[in-house]
Amino acid sequence: MNEQDRKKLIAENDLRLRKRLARRNGINSGLRYFVLTFVGLLMLYPLIWLLGASFKSNAEIFTSIGFLPSSFDFSGYVNGWKTSTEYTFTTYFINTFKIVIPKVIVTVISVTLTAYGFARFKIPGKKFLFSILIATLLLPNLVLRIPQYIMFNSFNWLDSYKPLIVPSAFAVDAFFVFMVIQFMRGIPKDLEEAATIDGCNSIQVLTKILMPILKPALISVALFQFMWTMNDFLGPLIYISSVRKYPVSIALKMSMDASALVHWNQVIALSVIALVPSLVVFFLAQRHFVDGITSSGIKG
Amino acid sequence: MKGKKYEGLLYITPWLIGLVVFTAFPFFASLFFSFTDYNLMSSPNFVGIDNYKTMFQTELFWKSFGITMSYVFITVPMKLAFALFIAYILNFKLKAVNFFRTAYYMPSILGGSVAVAVLWRFLFADTGLVNMILALFGVDSISWLGNPDYAIFTISLLRVWQFGSPMVIFLAALKNVPESLYEAARIDGASKVKTFIRVTLPMITPVLFFNFIMQLVQAFQEFNGPYIITGGGPLNSTYLFPLYIYDNAFRYFRMGYSSALSWFLFVVIMVFTLLAFKSEKHWVHYTEVE
């Protein structure tokens, strides 16, 4: 009887606890939405404000908190695009894509080949090589900048896009290699073995069997490389010296320095334009970004 | 079938070449240059540890190093705390999780761009948006970028704002914590806070550790923010170490001295990374989940 009483008591207690928890959950989930929305607005408002400010007059930029301009002024875009140099932003955009497009292509190819080698073949000293790959993942790039510059100088590569593109053809971005290796390890080998028995050589196995399965991972690689290269500032700052060859990132900094005291709206309009390619790509493919970052083997 | 052994080697050859030419060789070359007076114009002369001696006797070196340390230890914990906090909230089965996740992730994608640094300058200008908003609440305008005491904090905020990628990683880890553990805690009557500290946190320590190391290595190398927003000022209060290296290397072309500087920073980063790895066994739990 004693035992029964205790069980009943526990059950009642449990029920009460559950009810209280349920009630609290209701309040809590409201609170959660509030926090998420509030923090989210706080974080995104600057970007929204930037868009609105690009249509404001110079005087209005520093006097109105609101997003909407009192009247739409496109002069920031028109004059900003012309820039104070002899080139327009058209040139700078073309330059950026002259770096980004080849870089993304060679990255995807070199990363795929390297990951394939690591994930599917017996290589003498593989363990050691793989640990070196991981070590380069943590190696601060900063320590390599100076000798790389000296090296590219001796190759006569300065003031060209080669220092920015060529290393990527040799899979120097360890992060991507690691990501694709992790992805490949998750793919069963059955299909490839069957294809080998049917007489496919290893290149055919890669292009015909693996590549279609790898597509999401490779898209992630391409997207990240696209974003990072679009945003890269230090690379071109070090290597590109003629204004004619500047990418958008450097041109934007230059226009900020040249006109920060007078033509704020131009700088803001140009910033908006500079963000457009990244934003478009992000919204078209945001699933791949999140998947890419979580599938890189970084799971609890 | 005999060629099979070398086939794999063939596939990683591009990487191997890249490793030797663009990573290993520069890595050791910079150590070598750090013991020379190389300036690009004349061939390098061996000067022993002079560069290191000069370095430790330079006031700007210590100033820059001190700022870098405070920058790193403001930015990294704040960024991780935000990332974990938001990931924790997102992990409750809320509607519109994907929407919020995207919104929070966006700054990390755009954050490295010059445009966002430009935006920061406008937001935190003396008559910028932040001060305008503060004025609504009757707060006097703050010189976010002009006051040496605040400028580093403002720069720091730019990176804290981009907590999206550690957040996404935290979120994936939180999803992996087995429901049964929460169930058990609930039955024991543990409070939310206690559950978080005793159950959630220990379960995600490997990911916390990973994020910490990644953010640490990144923060030590911060360049774009201070270079574009403040140019290292006012009064060198945001003159982070990478700026110091950049100026010496690419403005004054003191390749020897700047190599010594970058090796110093490299060693500092390594020491902190190793300390983290050493401390790992005391707080990182690797539990096999199911």
Q: Express each pLDDT in B130-157 by its tens digit.
A: 998 898 898 888 899 999 999 999 999 9
pLDDT at B98 over 90: no
State the CATH number of the domain containing residue B266.
1.10.3720.10
Q: Which two tokens stand for residue B275?
A: 């300390």
| DSSP single-letter state for residue B47 | -
Which amino acid does the sequence have at A293?
A: I
The complex scores an ipTM of 0.88
Which amino acid does the sequence have at B102?
A: T
> Is there a cis peptide before residue A247, judged by omega within 30 degrees of 0?
no
Mean pLDDT of B172-176: 87
Residue keyed to tokens 């050691």: A128
Q: What SS3 class is residue B36?
A: strand
Any B CB within 8 A of A110 CB:
yes
Any B CB within 8 A of A203 CB:
no
Any B CB within 8 A of A259 CB:
no
Q: What is the mean pLDDT of each run of 10 residues along chain A (300 residues)?
A: 73 73 71 87 88 86 80 84 85 95 97 94 90 89 92 94 96 91 86 87 89 88 91 94 94 82 82 90 77 51
**To the nearest whole angstrom, how far is the Cα of A1 from the nearest Cα of chain B?**
24
**To the nearest whole angstrom, how far is the Cα of A272 from the nearest Cα of chain B?**
7
- Name the more confident of A289 and B35: B35
> Which residues in chain B are contacts of A167 at CB distance < 8 A?
18, 22
- Residue B220: closest C-alpha in chain A: A140
B142: left (phi over 0), alpha (psi -120 to 50) or beta: beta
Mean pLDDT of B234-261: 94
Mean pLDDT of B215-232: 93
- What ranges do the domains of chain A cover? 2-75, 76-294
pLDDT bracket for residue B42 (50, 70, 90) = confident
Q: Which two tokens stand for residue A131?
A: 């640990």
Instruction: Name the most confidently modeled range: A178-182, B37-41, B255-259.
Output: B255-259
Does the distance separating the beta carbons of B118 and A271 come in below 8 Å? yes
Q: Which two tokens stand for residue A170?
A: 């040799």
- Name the more confident of A23 and B75: B75
| DSSP single-letter state for residue B46 | B
Q: Which two tokens stand for residue B11?
A: 């596939």
Domain coverage including residue B77: 37-283
Beta partners for residue B36, in sequence order: B46
What pLDDT does residue A272 have? 92
What pLDDT does residue B186 have? 84
CA quadruple B51, B56, B59, B63: dihedral positive or negative? positive
> Does residue B127 fall inside a structural domain?
yes
pLDDT bracket for residue B1 (50, 70, 90) = very low
What pLDDT does residue B16 have? 95
> Does residue B3 fall inside a structural domain?
no
Q: How many CB atoms lie within 10 A of CB A171?
A: 30
B15: left (phi over 0), alpha (psi -120 to 50) or beta: alpha
Cβ within 8 Å of residue A169, ≥6 positions away:
A106, A107, A109, A110, B14, B18
> What is the widest separation between alpha-carbon atoms in chain B?
79
pLDDT bracket for residue B289 (50, 70, 90) = very low
> Which residues in chain A are contacts of B248 at CB distance < 8 A?
none
- Residue B218: closest C-alpha in chain A: A140
Instruction: Render chain A in DSSP notation, one character per residue.
Output: -HHHHHHHHHHHHHHHHHHHHHHHHHHHHHHHHHHHHHHHHHHHHHHHHHHHHTTS-HHHHTT--SSS-SS---HHHHHHHH-SSSS-HHHHHHHHHHHHHHHHHHHHHHHHHHHHHHHHS--TTHHHHHHHHHHHHHS-THHHHHHHHHHHHHTT-TTSSHHHHGGGGGT--HHHHHHHHHHHHTS-SHHHHHHHHTT--HHHIIIIIIHHHHHHHHHHHHHHHHHHHHH--HHHHHH---GGG--HHHHHHHHHHHHTTT-HHHHHHHHHHHHHHHHHHHHHHHHHHHHHHHSSS---
The pLDDT mean for chain B works out to: 89
Instruction: Render B91-115 in DSSP notation, one character per residue.
Output: TTT-TTHHHHHHHHHHHHHHTTSHH
CA distance B156 to B219: 9
Does the distance separating the beta carbons of A49 and B228 come in below 8 Å? no
What pLDDT does residue B223 have? 94
Residue B289's nearest CA partner among B211, B204, B209 is B204
Q: How many domains does chain B have?
A: 1
> Does residue B23 fall inside a structural domain?
no
CA distance A223 to A237: 23
Residue pLDDT, tens place only, B186-199? 888 888 888 888 88
Any B CB within 8 A of A299 CB:
yes
The CATH code that applies to domain A76-294 is 1.10.3720.10
